[in-house]
Structure 1
């Protein structure tokens, strides 16, 4: 089954002939709560739109794909919504770890939510602090189909993207798969052209996914509790 419809550069590897991936492409999707991050990720990876999700728990989605003829493991980290306080953006540990982990970032706001748009500049500052200049970024304005609820003018997204120096797409996860695909595809192609330094293998360039870190932490807690119980007996 093809992962990307009508595209020859990115395809899901679902046949026995596919060799193991040579490297991983890691993308984190960041934005305010309720902007449609999970819907965008699922739309990109499966071409399906699901309108109702449980509270975002920050799932990691993984697929083996081909990008411009190279076999890669594509990992997309969904993240819980970032909240805004009087002192600015409040990033959870999960979001902070995701920024350190990712090779590229998709920043998302909803055209129906002005606060989510105002949050983007602060999130971009956090991204830029990761490494030398930060990873590549694409800005996505979601829910473009909800014209009657629009709270962000159409020209403001491109202007902000220009100021931040990143690509911009206004999309509708519910109605338009092609633009969602194009945004993620742009990052995949950018990253596929990059080669990790010979002395620093790709597997060691970034920390592990926040999901894996959380699982290890829970395992250690459970093991510690079991040891304490045995000792007391």
Structure 2
């Protein structure tokens, strides 16, 4: 199965026979019922599935091409975050996924006002959850269910204003009706991350390369026969004896 669009190049492909230069890790966070899983599945498979079981935090892995380069993509879906007494707390496993990720997608539904009100607090918590000494990951705000105009509870202008205040990119999409919108939002984020990550380079060699060893002839010189040496020695002795006898005569 492949995902290809005319607008750019990002595709799901079979396992390549060479290693990846980059790995992109994305975590998706938002309130319950905003369509996080639907967005992830729509992006990765083009399919829209209306009903999902309660999200237990699935990790989706795909091998993709971003602008012609092979990339390993991992998307961590997370359970819905709830507000209690006007307070939002990230569960430990969600905070760990933030530290793991290269980027975070904050999702709300335009039909759910409380999910929109979560955005500012979630953005603050994501920034705080970043590992000590590390820069906060890129964050984008994604407004879902834009097709449900009759159920809208968040004005179209409020999302962009909030995202600008938070310093994030903003996209309003419909997971159910427009794959291109969903694809475009995730694709731009993948391209941004791919540009930020340096390509893997081979490990440096340990010292200068040794000169190639000269090839040795497979032929082994035959040693001189001890018997032949003995014969030569005896022949010289016999010859010397004859010379002495002649001289004495």
Which TM-score band applies after superposition, normalised by the shorter structure?
0.7 to 0.9
Shift of 1:169: 0.7
- Alignment of 1:156 onto 2:158: yes
Q: Looking at CA atoms only, which structure, 1 or 2, has the larger radius of gyration?
A: 2
Task: Tell me the distance in 2 between the aligned counterparts of 1:114 and 1:10.
Answer: 33
Shift of 1:87: 4.7
Task: Tell me the distance in 1 between the aligned counterparts of 2:25 and 2:174.
Answer: 23
Moved more, 138-147 or 85-94: 85-94
The superposition leaves residues 46-104 of structure 1 with CA deviations (integer Å, 9 ceiling, x where unpaired) of 00000000000110000011112221110000000001011511222221111111000
Contact 2:15 2:63 in 1 (8 A): no
Residues 44 and 197 of structure 1: is their aligned pair in 2 closer, same or farther, counting only changes over 3 Å?
A: closer
Q: Which runs of 5+ in 1 are unaligned?
A: 202-233
Q: What are the residue-to-residue correspondences of 1:39-188 with 2, within 5 Å? A: 39-129=38-128, 130-131=130-131, 132-188=134-190
Task: Tell me the distance in 2 between the aligned counterparts of 1:56 and 1:15.
Answer: 27
SS of residue matched to 1:52: coil
Task: Tell me the distance in 2 between the aligned counterparts of 1:23 and 1:195.
Answer: 7
Contact 2:90 2:125 in 1 (8 A): no
The superposition leaves residues 143-194 of structure 1 with CA deviations (integer Å, 9 ceiling, x where unpaired) of 1111111111110000001101111111110001111011111110011011
Two-structure CA RMSD over aligned residues (Å):
2.1
The superposition leaves residues 190-218 of structure 1 with CA deviations (integer Å, 9 ceiling, x where unpaired) of 110113598xx9xxxxxxxxxxxxxxxxx
Please list every run of at least 4 consecutive aligned residues from structure 1 whose deviation after the TM superposition is greater than 6 angstroms.
Answer: none
Shift of 1:7: 4.3
TM-score of the superposed pair, with normalisation by structure 1: 0.80
- Alignment of 1:6 onto 2:9: no
Corresponding residue of 2:194: 192
SS of residue matched to 2:57: coil
Task: Tell me the distance in 2 between the aligned counterparts of 1:74 and 1:197.
Answer: 15
SS of residue matched to 2:70: strand
Q: Which runs of 5+ in 2 are unaligned?
A: 204-249
